[in-house]
Amino acid sequence: MPSDCIPFRKTNYFSSFICDYLDEKAELKEFYHRFPKLESFEAQILEKQQSFSDQNRSVLQQSFIAQYKDFKVSSSTKENLDKLSDHNTFTVTTGHQLNLFTGPLYFLYKIVSTINLSNVLKERYPSYDFVPVYWMATEDHDFDEINYFNFKGKKIQWNRPDGGAVGVFETEGLDKVFEIFSAELGSGRNAEKLRFLFQKAYLNHHNLADATRYLANELFGEYGLVIVDGDDKELKRLFIPFVQKELEEQVSYKNVLPKAEKLAAKGYKVQVNPREINLFYLSKGVRERVIEKEGAYYVNDTDIVWSKDEILQKLQDTPEQFSPNVMMRPLYQEVILPNLCYIGGGGELAYWLELKDYFDTVQIPFPMLLLRNSVLMQTAKQSAKIEKLAVTTTELFLKQHELINRKVRQISNIDINFDPQRNHLKEQFKAMYELAEQTDVTFKNAIKAQEVKQLKGLDMLEKRLLKAQRLKLKDHVGRLTSIQNELFPNQSLQERTTNFSEMYLEYGEELIPMLLKCLDPLKGEFTVITN
């Protein structure tokens, strides 16, 4: 199947921060350890191998076995779980929220990137093994971000009370969501498969974490994907020394804040600002910040308070009740996994790039950071329309008014570009400025005002002519608008809006194999796939 690529910078949908990172700009080199090039992984492997203990491997493997005990495990995943006890096995990890029915399409692209990179690394370094890992954000509490998905322009939403970590949310009420979704799906083999997946995931499992594990396992289990739930007592126990250091020394704040300030000084947007203590306290229906005041530790918006000795004892007794926030979660991941590379979206990598000094201070290797694959999928029918309209891949990504204006200019039988007139006008006024210099200098202001007025007049005339041509070519403009709206719903990237179910209706069981075949995790460009 044909595919095309476009540099991320040319899409105009990615920040200069991420584009500069991809270009390996010198001003960002201090914010990461190694750039994700295939030849650089050997040093990363050796560094992680020396720092990751056999004890951690043993705890990790036993926790994984426990987490999978009620699930059907593919032979590939079982093999990868077994390999994790070997000191020559490493992980490649991505993470994502527990979005209802996976949320936007990029959920798939993250995991495909992770699986593909694991396979590429195995080819390059055959004496080692590489396990693709999906980290479920079970301790997240932003329910409004995950309680819906979009299907054919409609918002399919789960309404229930909010509060606490989302992974333990009971799936009660999702039967009504299923009825709505099922009615929208229509008939056919692919529609029935989607009904089966939703029903088995959300109506046959008690909580959102188990439902998400089932769904991701059904979609990717045959490719050896290992799914991690960090909300695990034994895994949290491995993290106790780092939580204690955070409580006693506020080490993340002291290291991340200066790094964030450096980014800001270079003109980049800071994605996340650290707090003095970057921990939450978890209990039933509650995930609230831990705050230190004058030697006492409080849980925000509750009556819970501890002395220093009491909270440290609490940490030893129930480590599972301490939850890292966005600043500490990356460290938690790297402490419990033999990880080499984290694959994420632009926003994720932006906050990871604040963390290197923090990792250095606590002596945990900083992983490579790889931007996930981004994809625009178009059918053969859509591709034929685009070709007929003579729209290039790069032009597809223009803002709609820019695309329309450009194509109207290209196909009009008259010249709508008044740049020659503008240049001629400026030359005339240049002579007038020279005359003013020889006579009355104060006359320059009057000349300037007249120049601005006449240039604005030309701008207005050009806009009116362009508008008239747009009306004359309204059929062409309508087709142009229609195809771009199909591919960029709500004038946003398809992958950030559309749910995988729409693509599954089109491609069925071939969807994921097609993505695995087409996407190169180290390509560093936006991919357009036509099928």
- Same domain (yes/no): 347, 482: no
- Same domain (yes/no): 75, 183: yes
Question: Would 41 be classed as within a structural domain?
Answer: yes
Strands 129-136 and 89-96: parallel
- Same domain (yes/no): 144, 231: yes
- Same domain (yes/no): 357, 398: no
pLDDT digits (tens, 9 = 90+) for 255-286: 999 999 999 999 999 999 999 999 999 998 89
* Residue 102, CA atoms < 13 Å, CB-side half-sphere: 30
pLDDT digits (tens, 9 = 90+) for 288-304: 999 999 999 999 999 99
Task: Return the higher-pLDDT residue of 409 and 306.
Answer: 306
Q: Which two tokens stand for residue 116?
A: 């593909």
Quick one: pLDDT at residue 470?
Answer: 58
Which residues are CB-contacts of 20 (< 8 A; sequence separation ≥ 6)? 27, 28, 268
The span from the CA of 285 to the CA of 138, in Å, is 13
- Same domain (yes/no): 331, 397: no
Quick one: pLDDT at residue 436?
Answer: 73
Question: Would 391 be classed as within a structural domain?
Answer: yes
The span from the CA of 481 to the CA of 296, in Å, is 60
- Same domain (yes/no): 127, 171: yes
Question: Would 317 be classed as within a structural domain?
Answer: no
The span from the CA of 46 to the CA of 90, in Å, is 11
Whether the pLDDT of residue 426 is over 80: the answer is no
Report yes or no: 253 and 351 within 8 Å, Cβ to Cβ: no
CA separation, residue 194 to residues 178, 497, 502 (Å): 10, 18, 10
Question: Would 473 be classed as within a structural domain?
Answer: yes
Which residues are CB-contacts of 134 (< 8 A; sequence separation ≥ 6)? 93, 94, 95, 96, 110, 111, 114, 216, 220, 225, 226, 227, 228
- Same domain (yes/no): 37, 75: yes
Name the band, by pLDDT with cuts 50, 70 and 90, for residue 385. very high
Q: Which two tokens stand for residue 469?
A: 């041509």
Q: Which two tokens stand for residue 384?
A: 């034929």
Name the band, by pLDDT with cuts 50, 70 and 90, for residue 473. low
Question: Would 468 be classed as within a structural domain?
Answer: yes
Quick one: pLDDT at residue 531?
Answer: 83
- Same domain (yes/no): 100, 171: yes
Quick one: pLDDT at residue 500?
Answer: 98
361: containing domain: 3-238+327-374+512-530
- Same domain (yes/no): 423, 366: no
With a pLDDT cut of 70, the percent of the chain lying above it is: 93
- Same domain (yes/no): 494, 346: no
Whether the pLDDT of residue 417 is over 70: the answer is no
Name the band, by pLDDT with cuts 50, 70 and 90, for residue 498. very high
Mean per-residue pLDDT, 243-266:
97
pLDDT digits (tens, 9 = 90+) for 60-91: 999 999 999 999 999 999 999 999 999 999 99
- Nearest CA to 325 out of 165, 207, 169, 208 is that of 165
- Same domain (yes/no): 421, 526: no
Report yes or no: 1 and 529 within 8 Å, Cβ to Cβ: yes
With a pLDDT cut of 90, the percent of the chain lying above it is: 82
Side chain identity at 248, as an amino acid letter? E
Question: Would 451 be classed as within a structural domain?
Answer: yes
Tally the domains of the chain.
Answer: 2
Among 81-90, 112-121, 415-424, the range scoring the smallest mean pLDDT is 415-424
- Same domain (yes/no): 158, 184: yes
Among 137-151, 228-242, 364-378, 452-466, the range scoring the smallest mean pLDDT is 452-466
Whether the pLDDT of residue 501 is over 80: the answer is yes
pTM, two decimal places: 0.90
Question: Would 504 be classed as within a structural domain?
Answer: no
Question: Would 469 be classed as within a structural domain?
Answer: yes
pLDDT digits (tens, 9 = 90+) for 312-337: 999 999 999 999 999 999 999 999 99
Report which DSSP code applies to 199: I
